[in-house]
Amino acid sequence: MNRIPVHVSMIMDGNGRWAKERGKERIYGHFEGVESVRACVEAAVETGVKYLSIYAFSEENWNRPQAEVDGLMELMVKAMASEMEKLNSNGVRFMVIGNRERLAPSLNQVIDSCMDMTSSNDTLTLIVFLSYSGKWDILQAAKKLARKAAASEADLEEVMSMDINGFDPFLATAGIPDPDLIVRTSGESRLSNYLLWQGAYSELLFVDTLWPDFRKEEFKSALSEYAKRDRRYGKVK
C-alpha cells in the first residue's frame, strides 16, 4: 500500500441495527462495537496510520433515551479502564475531544487519568470525540476569537488580519492534523455534524458494513480505497 493516510477518522454507525437484527437491546451493539475499535487500533498500528479518531458520542446523542445514554457512559468508563494498559504498552496516546462540561465528573476523572498515562506515547494517537459536534467546535472557536479581539486594539487587528489557517488553533482539535479519510459505516451517507471545518478536504468513504462488523480487513480495505483517490484540494491536475 503506497499511500497511507496520516489521519483516519471513523463515524461508527450501525450498533443499534446490528443488535436489533440479533434480537438484542441496543446497548449490546455498543458493547460489540468496542471490539471493532480495538481491531481498528491494531490495524492502524500495523499499517502506519499515525492518528485514528472515532466519533463516539455526538452532542445530539444526549437526546437519546436516558437509559441508553447512561449505558453508553458506563460502557465508556469500563472500556477506558480495561483497555488503557494495553494501549499504553503499545505506544498509543489517548485523547478525548468534545464538550466535556456535560460529562459526569467520574467519567472526566477516568479520561484525565488515561490521557495523563499515555501523553508521551507516539506510535499512534487515538482520539475519541465525545459530546462533540462540528457546529459546537466552530462556535467555541469563534467565542475564543471574540474574547481575543475584545482584549485590545492590537489583538483586534491581529484577528482581523487572520487567514483561514489562523482559525485552526482555536478549534478543539488544535495541533491535530485534519483527517485525510473519513469513513462512515452502516450505509448512511452524511457527516452528521462531525468535523465540519476539519473535514473540508477529507476523502469520504461510506460503507454498508455495520460498525460491529467493521474489523481489520474492512479497515485495511478502506485504506486501499483511499490509495486510489486523487486528492486535488480544488486544483487541476
Active site residues: 13, 61
Strand spans (E) along 119-235: 124-132, 181-184, 203-206
**CB atoms near residue 231 (< 10 Å):** 14
Q: Tell me if 6 sits within 8 A of 180, measured CB to CB.
A: yes
| Separation of alpha carbons 204 and 86, rounded Å | 30
Who contacts 140 (Cβ-Cβ below 8 Å, separation ≥6)? 99, 172
3-class SS shares of the chain: helix, strand, coil, % to 5: 50, 15, 30
| Separation of alpha carbons 9 and 27, rounded Å | 23
| Separation of alpha carbons 128 and 9, rounded Å | 10
C-alpha distance across the termini of the chain, in Å:
22
Q: At 232, is the secondary structure helix, strand, or coil?
A: coil
